[in-house]
């Protein structure tokens, strides 16, 4: 399973038009954790401090709202399915 980067999470939020507070409420992840992760700008799987369960909550929340994380050989991205 590919884990989205902080930049992909930020882009996903932007596509949905939600702020960190709304994502925290909907995902059950503490807002401080979301802020720290997004500020890191790094690939989640390279960050030891972010538990898999925490990332799965964020991914699940975003995907349930139509977000698809893209992982291509030469690019990564995010798209919103309607």
pLDDT value of residue 49: 54
* Residue with the larger pLDDT of the pair 3 and 21: 21
Dist. CA 75–CA 55, nearest whole Å = 21
pLDDT value of residue 42: 61
Note the Cα 44 to chain centre separation in Å. 9
The model carries a pTM of 0.86
Which domains occur in the chain, in start order? 6-80 (1.10.260.40)
- For 34-80, the pLDDT digits (tens) are 998 898 876 554 444 567 889 999 999 999 999 999 999 898 899 99
Note the Cα 33 to chain centre separation in Å. 12
pLDDT value of residue 3: 84
């Amino acid at each position: 399973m590919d884990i989205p980067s902080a930049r992909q999470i930020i882009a996903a939020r932007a596509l949905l038009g939600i702020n960190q507070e709304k994502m925290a409420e909907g995902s059950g992840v503490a807002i401080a954790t979301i802020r720290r992760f997004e500020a890191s700008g790094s690939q989640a799987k390279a960050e030891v401090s972010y538990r898999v369960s925490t990332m799965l909550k964020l991914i699940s929340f975003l995907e349930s709202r139509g977000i698809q994380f893209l992982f291509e050989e030469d690019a990564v991205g995010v798209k919103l399915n309607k």
